[in-house]
Each structure stands twice: as C-alpha cells, then as structure tokens.
Amino acid sequence: MNRLQYILTILLFGLTLISFAQTEYSNEKSNEYKVLAKFISFEGGEKTHFAKFKVLKSLTNNLAVNDTVTVGYLNNKAPDKDIDNVLLTIKEYDERPATKNNFICPNYDGKTYIQKVKLEFIDFNYWENCELGKDECKALTFTRTKKDQKWYLIMPCGGTETAITISGKNFNEEIHLFHDDCPPLLKMTNLRDGNYFATMRADGLGGTVGFNLVTK
C-alpha cells in the first residue's frame, strides 16, 4: 500500500467512526419522549423502583401508548412523594421490554425527569354551554403561585378535526389537530396575567370561552 492509499484509508476509517457516533447519538435522543401525565401509584422495586401514571397528553408525535405507563428510576433518584400532575421525560429500555408501556427515566433519574407541573382543564360540557349561550358559561380564572411554574391548559376535542384560536393582549396562537392527536394543549408558562379568549371551530363543538390568568 503506497502512502496516498494509506492516508485515504485512515480518512475513510475516521469518517466511518464519526458517522457511527452521530447515528448512535441520534438514536439515543430519538427514543426520548415527553408526556403529560397524572400520578397513579408507586409500584416499589429493589434497585430500580417504578411508578405508574395515567397519560393525559403525549408531547411526542411518534409515541403510541395506551392509557397508562410504568416508569422506572433508581431508588436514590426517586421523585418527590407528593407528585400529582407531571411532565415525564422517558425512554425505552436498552432491551425492549415485553410490555410496550414500560419505560425508564434517562439515567434512571426520576428526580430530574419526573417534573411537577400545573394543569388546568376546560371540559366538553362547559365549552358546549358557552356555545349554546347558557348561564353556566362564566369566564374561568386560573391561578398560579409563581411565574416560572410549568403551566398547561388541556382543552376538549371538537370532533374529527379541531381548530382553536387563542387570543389575548399581545398574544395570538392557532391550534389545529386531528382526533388522534387530541386533546388540544396550550402552554401557559410564559403567558402574561390577563384575559384570554379561545374560539373553537370543529364539527362537534364550537363557540368561544374566556379565561383569566392570575399570579398570586
């Protein structure tokens, strides 16, 4: 092998290693998912402990789960005992488990990746009362205790396809989704206090609801 061939071989080998490393990194990141969920129970365990959650909204499009997920973490990295509504960052086991709804926290760190969040809800019946102009439709007030709280609003689906326009002072956002991606979700963490209006256009529900954000 002459000198030029030797140099080309080394370069090719180096590029192969870089490509492999990039692929591995990409795969590692791509199997992490984010889910809004409600705590159900602690399931115990030995070195690895588990907790069960009811899925409220998947924030990752390629995650298909049933109503509940079981999440593993190390005993010394357990989440707070008083968790309720949470934002889960989860990933698949290195070896895929038999039950597809079993996951682990990255680095088995439940303290970091099972985060408390504040959730608000507007249900179907309330929105329908607003659509029909009934007295039960009064502006809602959602209150937080600090502005850096992770804060989300979960709204009802209006049918096979739902479009919602949310407006407020210096704020406007459009949400458009199909039934498989329901429920509609608004992240309110960085929204200013004040009055907002949400108008829905869908085949099974419509009308406008108002809500007020307050920080105590």
Q: Can you say whether residue 114 is alpha, beta or left, with left for phi > 0 and alpha for psi between -120 and 50 degrees?
A: beta
Which residues does the chain have with pLDDT short of 70?
1-30, 62, 64-66, 94-99
CA angle 31, 164, 182 (to 5 degrees): 35
Is 119-215 in CATH node 2.60.40?
Answer: yes
Domain ranges for the chain, please list them: 32-116, 119-215
Phi/psi of residue 45, nearest 5 degrees: 145, 180
Helix (H) / strand (E) element for 167: namely strand 161-168
Q: Residue 15: what pLDDT?
A: 42
Q: Residue 180: what pLDDT?
A: 87
Q: Residue 5: what pLDDT?
A: 53
Same fold, 32-116 and 119-215: no
Strand residues in the chain grouped as ranges (E): 32-45, 48-58, 68-74, 85-91, 102-104, 114-116, 118-121, 140-144, 151-154, 161-168, 171-178, 185-187, 194-202, 206-215
CA distances from 170 to 66, 120, 126 (A): 38, 22, 26
Q: Is residue 37 within 8 Å of 114, Cβ to Cβ?
A: no
Q: Residue 3: what pLDDT?
A: 55
Find, among 15, 16, 84, the residue nearest to 51 by Cα.
84
What pTM was estimated for this model as a whole?
Answer: 0.80
SS3 content of the chain, % helix, strand, coil (to 5): 25, 45, 30
Q: May I ask the CATH class of domain 32-116?
A: mainly beta
